Amino acid sequence: MIVYIIQRVMRMIPLLFLLSLVAFLIIQLPPGDYLTEHINALRASGRDVDEAEVERLMKQYALDRPMHVQYLTWIQNILFKGSFGQSFQWGRPVNEVIGDKMALTFLLAIFTTIFVWAISVPIGIYVSVRQYTFTDYLFTMIGFIGLAVPGFLLAMVVMYFSFAWFGLKVGGLFSPAFELEPWSIAKFQNMLTRIWVPVLILGIGGTAHIIRIMRATMLDELRKQYVTVARSKGLSEFAVLMNYPVRIAINPLISSLGFLLPWIISGGTVVEIVLNLPTAAVVLYRSLLSQDMFLAGSFILLVGTLALVGSLLADIALAAVDPRIRFGSVEEM
């Protein structure tokens, strides 16, 4: 197991390097950079630009130097100083801008996953043992509707009805009173009363997906002989299901856990914009629009890193529940 983890971590290093290259290239690809744009905009509006300040920033980020030097400067700052640079748009260090948003996004991802799993895993198991019955078709239909309806539309519908019927404004994660407050237990509680809306909307699409995966893998496993053998021991049907086919059918889901965060960020952006959530996806989107290169680059790097770490954790979790991976057995059973 330890050997497996070490191997797995070692394999991440080149990937991380490639990831940083890609993140850097992406922020360099659009012509121009934020600083030049910014100065131009200021000059165009006839305002004075502090030449010394510009000079200082140019130097700090090596913007006047060739690309590879820029990359090295950028990555060195991250690795050795823990500094992701300055967000020009926000006028604050990237670290400050990102920290809060990332935490909220993370929270949202975790809540959404719990919601999706809590609903779809039991349903997936249930419909697999009731294949081709009315309930199976019913849940399949509901699931596909959930999958087909775009999240932002659902978000708008939910917002409309909650306002029209209950007089609730469901946008945002906090009540206005708590919006700018520092974190406290009261603020957290306030968030809990509001977070269910985005969780519900983001989760519905994922639910159908997980139900289908669970149903398909369960149907595969249910056909296998060890299930009949388990029944032949006299176990109750519930015990048979939980201890045998479910134990194996859950594995693909565990391995998909690693891609949760990228999924929330890339899939939920529109929903989060509609719902006015202060999450990472929205900030990333804006930073890309305004060529806020250090912010965007850091986001891409961070999200990518988290995806890698996520899949590492998922792999370790998978190895923990599936001995075939732990012992490196390739035999198909």
Partner 1 sequence: MASNENGAGKQEVLLEIRDLKTHFALDEGTVRAVDGVDLDVRRKQVVGVVGESGCGKSMTAMSVMRLVPPPGQIVEGEIRFHRQFDDRADAKDIVDLAQFESNDRQLRDIRGNQISMVFQEPMTALSPVRTVGKQITEAILLHQDVNKTEARDIAIETLARVKMPNPEQRFDDYPFQLSGGMRQRAVIAMALACRPQLLIADEPTTALDVTTEAQILDLMRELQAESDMAILYITHNLGVVAEMAEEVVVMYLGKVVERCDVDSIFYNPKHPYTRGLLNSIPRLEDVLQDKREKLNAIEGMVPSPYQRLQGCAFHPRCPDFMPGVCDEAEPQLIQLEEGHAVRCHLYT
Q: Which residues bind partner 1 (CB under 8 A)?
A: 224-226, 228-237, 243-244, 247-248, 321-324, 327, 329, 331, 333
| Least distance between partner 1 and beta carbon 310 (Å) | 23
| Least distance between partner 1 and beta carbon 291 (Å) | 50
| Least distance between partner 1 and beta carbon 128 (Å) | 14
Nearer Cβ to partner 1 (32/323): 323
| Least distance between partner 1 and beta carbon 223 (Å) | 9
Nearer Cβ to partner 1 (16/316): 316
Nearer Cβ to partner 1 (289/320): 320
Q: Report which of 98, 90, 86 is spatially closest to residue 53, judged by C-alpha positions.
A: 86
Nearer Cβ to partner 1 (166/238): 238
Nearer Cβ to partner 1 (229/313): 229
Q: Report which of 187, 182, 208, 198 is spatially closest to residue 273, judged by C-alpha positions.
A: 198
Are 209 and 147 contacting, i.e. CB atoms less than 8 angstroms apart?
Answer: yes
Q: How far is it, in rounded angstroms, from Cα 14 to Cα 37?
A: 34
Structure tokens at 137: 């078709």
Nearer Cβ to partner 1 (125/277): 125
Nearer Cβ to partner 1 (185/330): 330
Nearer Cβ to partner 1 (92/224): 224
Are 200 and 111 contacting, i.e. CB atoms less than 8 angstroms apart?
Answer: no
| Least distance between partner 1 and beta carbon 248 (Å) | 6
| Least distance between partner 1 and beta carbon 4 (Å) | 15
| Least distance between partner 1 and beta carbon 314 (Å) | 16
| Least distance between partner 1 and beta carbon 35 (Å) | 56
Are 317 and 305 contacting, i.e. CB atoms less than 8 angstroms apart?
Answer: no
Are 304 and 23 contacting, i.e. CB atoms less than 8 angstroms apart?
Answer: yes
Q: How far is it, in rounded angstroms, from Cα 110 to Cα 92?
A: 28
Going by their DSSP bridges, the two strands 92-93 and 86-87 should be labelled as antiparallel
